[in-house]
């Protein structure tokens, strides 16, 4: 079934939290006929607010909790059940955050040795002395999970799919690494020997040094990827489908020496992605994943994606270089694809178009429909009319917004992840326009009342 959706992280809702604006946004999606809400990881971010550098792969960002949702004594039985069900990640997450707060927000690898190296007696004493703080952290997660589960049920009742995002790597300063040090390539002082990133590409001429530690895949394989399977199970409880970010990392990851300043030094190191996907297929036979196959894609990456019949991605902003085999070009779209005008890492479509020189603007417009209206609508219509089964449009593009409203600039740490829309930018005429476009492109949500 052909679908269309919107890319919007919950922090970009008008209030930036999971309050009544969430239901209003689902109302708007339903009235437009949109059936896919894609977002970034919900995980609790570091100070730079990047959802791709988080304290936990399982936790939800506490900043998303509305002020009027609080814990009450009647919640205790459900909370106790939540703690039992989620103990494998909740205990280490809450201990990690409590310790980090107590130790002046220092990263775990700078903690005193008894905490850094998991001295059990010291941890038990700390847990006893800081019980109320640890329990509060767990209660916040309980409230967030319960709120999100209600949102998920609401979306499903409207025929709206929630599409989540799974970073290939996890942050070094995280409960994931602190609690599972043996699963990562760390030296005797628990410092990474190599870190993750990407070589120079479209987004950054110097490459990107993400700084995430690399997995110790040999150890992970010994218990059939139990850590990964728990991580995916969490994601598929919160979402209907999950985009695997940097999918090419399941063939090989770019390993950068830990002392390098950027992504130019490094090498591709093979990973057991096929074995991991086979283990995930045992747990999730429908394989509800999307492969983020952007960047330097080799035939091996394409073969792995196709072996498990995973949809790939196409970004139309990348499709105008004139190369006949460009998978992002309008002419080369295929059904088993999720097509985007742009992603959270791109400029808005209007900003991208305005940044092109006049000759390139002319070339772009020559490949697009002339009756679609001013940019970004020609690119939006191209995505909706494409062969791709699913088309996802960033909210900024639906709202015709320029560069000042982009979500993120890769390789930078200032001014990102803070954009929000307002309902004054969403007139009824826009809803009517989107609804008509989805009807004509056979992407309208069949459950929609409009």
DSSP string, 395-423: HHHHTT--GGG-S--TT--SS-S-----G
Indicate the pairing of strand 289-291 with strand 267-270.
unpaired
Phi (first) and psi of residue 394, to 5 degrees: -55, 145
* Active-site residue identified among 91, 262, 300, 345: 345
Report pLDDT for 449: 39
3-state secondary structure of 234: helix
CA 378 to chain centre: 27
The counts of H helices and E strands in the chain are 16, 12
Indicate the pairing of strand 241-244 with strand 161-166.
parallel
Of 16, 18, 89, 94, nearest to 49 (Cα)?
16
Q: Is the preceding omega at residue 376 within 30 degrees of 0, hence cis?
A: yes
Of 274, 308, 312, nearest to 293 (Cα)?
312
Taking only the tens of pLDDT, the chain with its 450 residues reads 999 999 999 999 999 999 999 999 999 999 999 999 999 999 999 999 999 999 999 999 999 999 999 999 999 999 999 999 999 999 999 999 999 999 999 999 999 999 999 999 999 999 999 999 999 999 999 999 999 999 999 999 999 999 999 999 999 999 999 999 999 999 999 999 999 988 887 778 899 898 999 999 999 999 999 999 999 999 999 999 999 999 999 999 999 999 999 999 999 999 999 999 999 999 999 999 999 999 878 999 999 999 999 999 999 999 999 999 999 999 999 999 999 999 999 999 999 999 999 999 999 999 998 899 999 999 999 999 999 999 999 999 999 999 999 999 987 888 999 999 999 999 999 999 999 999 999 999 976 433
Phi (first) and psi of residue 413, to 5 degrees: -125, 0
| Calpha distance 439→389 (Å, rounded) | 14
Single pTM value for the model: 0.96
Of 427, 419, 441, nearest to 399 (Cα)?
427
| Calpha distance 418→405 (Å, rounded) | 9
Indicate the pairing of strand 312-315 with strand 289-291.
unpaired
Of 86, 71, 5, nearest to 38 (Cα)?
5
Report pLDDT for 205: 87
| Calpha distance 92→52 (Å, rounded) | 19
| Calpha distance 10→43 (Å, rounded) | 11
Catalytic status, residue 357: no
| Calpha distance 284→303 (Å, rounded) | 20
Catalytic status, residue 189: no
Report pLDDT for 96: 98
| Calpha distance 162→233 (Å, rounded) | 15
Q: String of b and e for 309-341 (b: at least 16 CB within 10 Å)? A: ebbbbbbbbbbbeeeeeebbbbebbeeebbbbb
Q: Report CA-CA distances (Å) from 161 to 36, 37, 240, 381.
A: 5, 6, 6, 21
β-strand partners of 179: none
| Calpha distance 133→337 (Å, rounded) | 45
Per the document, the length of the chain is 450
* Active-site residue identified among 292, 293, 347, 397: 292
* Active-site residue identified among 61, 245, 255, 400: 245
Evaluate the CA torsion angle 113, 116, 120, 122 in order and state its sign: positive
Catalytic status, residue 255: no
């Amino acid at each position: 079934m052909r679908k269309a959706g919107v890319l919007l992280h919950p922090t970009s809702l008008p209030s930036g939290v999971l309050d009544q604006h969430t239901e209003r946004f689902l109302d708007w999606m339903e009235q437009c006929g949109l059936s896919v809400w894609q977002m970034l990881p919900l995980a609790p971010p570091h100070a730079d607010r990047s959802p791709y550098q988080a304290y936990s792969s399982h936790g939800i960002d506490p900043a998303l909790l509305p002020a009027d949702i609080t814990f009450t004594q009647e919640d205790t039985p459900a909370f106790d059940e939540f703690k039992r069900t989620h103990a494998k990640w909740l205990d280490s997450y809450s201990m990690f955050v409590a310790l980090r707060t107590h130790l002046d927000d220092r990263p775990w690898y700078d903690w005193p040795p008894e905490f850094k190296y998991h001295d059990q007696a010291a941890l038990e004493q700390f847990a006893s002395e800081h019980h109320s703080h640890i329990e509060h952290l767990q209660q916040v997660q309980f409230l967030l999970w319960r709120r999100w589960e209600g949102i998920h049920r609401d979306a499903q009742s409207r025929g709206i799919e929630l599409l989540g995002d799974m970073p290939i790597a996890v942050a070094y300063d995280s409960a994931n690494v602190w609690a599972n040090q043996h699963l990562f390539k760390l030296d005797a002082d628990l410092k990474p020997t190599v870190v993750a990133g990407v070589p120079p590409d479209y987004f950054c001429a110097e490459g990107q040094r993400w700084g995430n530690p690399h997995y110790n895949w040999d150890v992970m394989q010994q218990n059939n990827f139990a850590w990964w399977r728990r991580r995916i199970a969490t994601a598929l409880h919160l979402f209907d489908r999950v985009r695997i970010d940097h999918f090419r990392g399941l063939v090989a990851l770019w390993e950068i020496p830990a002392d390098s300043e950027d992504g130019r030094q490094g090498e591709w190191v093979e990973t057991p992605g096929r074995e991991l996907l086979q283990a995930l297929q045992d747990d999730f036979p429908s394989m509800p994943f999307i492969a983020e196959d952007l960047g330097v894609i080799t035939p091996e990456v394409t073969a792995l994606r196709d072996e498990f019949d995973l949809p790939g991605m196409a970004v139309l902003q990348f499709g105008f270089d004139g190369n006949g085999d460009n998978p992002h070009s309008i002419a080369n779209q295929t059904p088993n694809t999720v097509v985007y005008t742009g992603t959270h890492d791109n400029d808005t479509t209007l900003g991208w178009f305005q940044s092109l020189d006049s000759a390139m603007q002319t070339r772009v417009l020559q490949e697009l429909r002339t009756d679609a209206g001013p940019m970004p609508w020609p690119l939006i219509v191209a995505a909706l009319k494409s062969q791709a089964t699913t088309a996802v449009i960033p909210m900024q593009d639906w709202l015709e917004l320029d560069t000042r409203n982009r979500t993120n600039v890769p390789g930078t740490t200032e001014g990102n992840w803070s954009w929000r829309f307002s309902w004054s930018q969403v007139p009824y005429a826009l809803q009517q326009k989107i609804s008509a476009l989805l009807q004509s492109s056979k992407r309208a949500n069949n459950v929609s009342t409009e």
